[in-house]
Amino acid sequence: MCPNSRWLLTTAIAVLAMLTTAGVSAAQEYPGWFLNPGALDCRTPVVGYSYPAYHADSAAVLAIRDGFINYAKQRDLTISGGQAFWTTEIGMFWMGSNFVESFDSSRAGHAENVLAPQDTVFRDSFIFTLLAGDGCELNDDARAMHQMGASGQPAWVEATPKDSAFHYGVGVAPQYFYELSSWREAEKYACRNLARTILTSVQSLGKLGYQGQEIINEEVPVRLRDWQVAARWMNPDEKIFYVLVRMPKRQRGIVEPESVLK
């Protein structure tokens, strides 16, 4: 083989390898603390995410900082705004939305004194770390890696739990290039659904006649306090990510719709 053809072959193999390995690498194994944070015997467990960095310790620091921000959100998060839909005979169309999430970011600084990293998992596509208050001890099951799909779909995925202790919200997200984006989107929608359970304002303007049409507007002026992620799950076949969040029902000043509206 002449040098040129050898070079050509090497290049072809490299290109082929590049093309076949490109895409989302999803190792579908997660530690128990990530899948069931609600079952942990820890004070204020929070998970922080970050994208991979050249230096692993940089990524871990970013994940810890993200955890501090999530801590601040979980203490007090105001969700306000709404969205409108236009319904006609041929379907329902989205008209627009203006949801806003706001929280006191100065609490993130306070989190440094309250939380400590408990465990961190490094993946090709993202890094996630568990932070919790002092005295948190993870048992073997919490540290063990669980294969997605091995134990079937949890019940909360289809039927939102209902009990007298907590309000619940479930959020879903499809698979994105970065897995982190999927988990974040699922969490965002879970919080929004939790807020809707507490208070939703619905206005509907219908017109029936030659053409039937309706405009539906919904608004959510809710403040979530001391909510937490209770569980996460991923459907390995359909590549759908699920997050369950909950907030205690009996707590002073959970919802302040009036003050938010004004």
What are the residues facing 145 on neighbouring strands? 31
Radius of gyration of the chain (CA): 22
Placement of tokens 């669980």 in the chain: 146
162 lines the binding site for other proteins (CB under 8 A): yes
Paired with 245 in beta bridges are: 169, 229
Q: Measured between alpha carbons, how far is 5 from 256 in angstroms, rounded to an integer? A: 73
- 235, 153 in Cβ contact below 8 A? yes
- Residue 66 backbone phi and psi in degrees, to 5: -60, -35
Report d(CA 84, CA 99) in Å as an integer: 11
Which residues, numbered 111-150, are part of the site for other proteins (CB under 8 A)? none
User: Of 102, 41, 98, which is closest to residue 69 (Cα–Cα)?
Assistant: 102
Q: Which residue has the tokens 């970050």?
A: 50
Smallest gap from residue 44 Cβ to other proteins (A)? 22
Single residue of 107, 123, 146, 196 touching other proteins by CB under 8 A: 196
Among 70, 129, 193, 228, the residue binding other proteins under the rule CB under 8 A is 193
- Site residues (CB under 8 A) for other proteins, limited to 28-57: none
Size of the site for other proteins (CB under 8 A): 44
Under rule CB under 8 A, which residues in 62-121 are in contact with other proteins?
A: 83, 85, 87, 91-92, 94
* 144 vs 205, beta carbon nearer other proteins: 205
23 contacts: CB under 8 Å, gap ≥ 6? none
Residue type, 157: V
Report if residue 11 touches other proteins, rule: CB under 8 A: yes
If one asks whether residue 172 binds other proteins (CB under 8 A), the answer comes out as yes
The residue among 35 and 170 lying less far from other proteins, judged by its C-beta, is 170
Q: Decide whether 11 or 259 has the Cβ nearer to other proteins.
A: 11
55 vs 162, beta carbon nearer other proteins: 162
Tokens representing 161 are 């739990």
Identify which of residues 87 and 125 has a Cβ nearer to other proteins in the complex.
87
Binding residue for other proteins, selected from 29, 185, 226, 256, defined by CB under 8 A: 185
CB of 30 to other proteins, least distance (A): 21
What sign results for the dihedral spanned by CA atoms 174, 176, 179, 181? negative
Q: Quick check: 200 binds other proteins (CB under 8 A)?
A: yes
**C-alpha angle with apex 86: 82 to 88, nearest 5 degrees?**
160
- Residue 16 in contact with other proteins, rule: CB under 8 A: yes
Return residues touching other proteins (CB under 8 A): 4, 7-8, 11-12, 15-16, 19, 83, 85, 87, 91-92, 94, 158-160, 162-165, 168, 170-174, 185, 189, 193, 196-204, 214, 216, 218, 238, 240
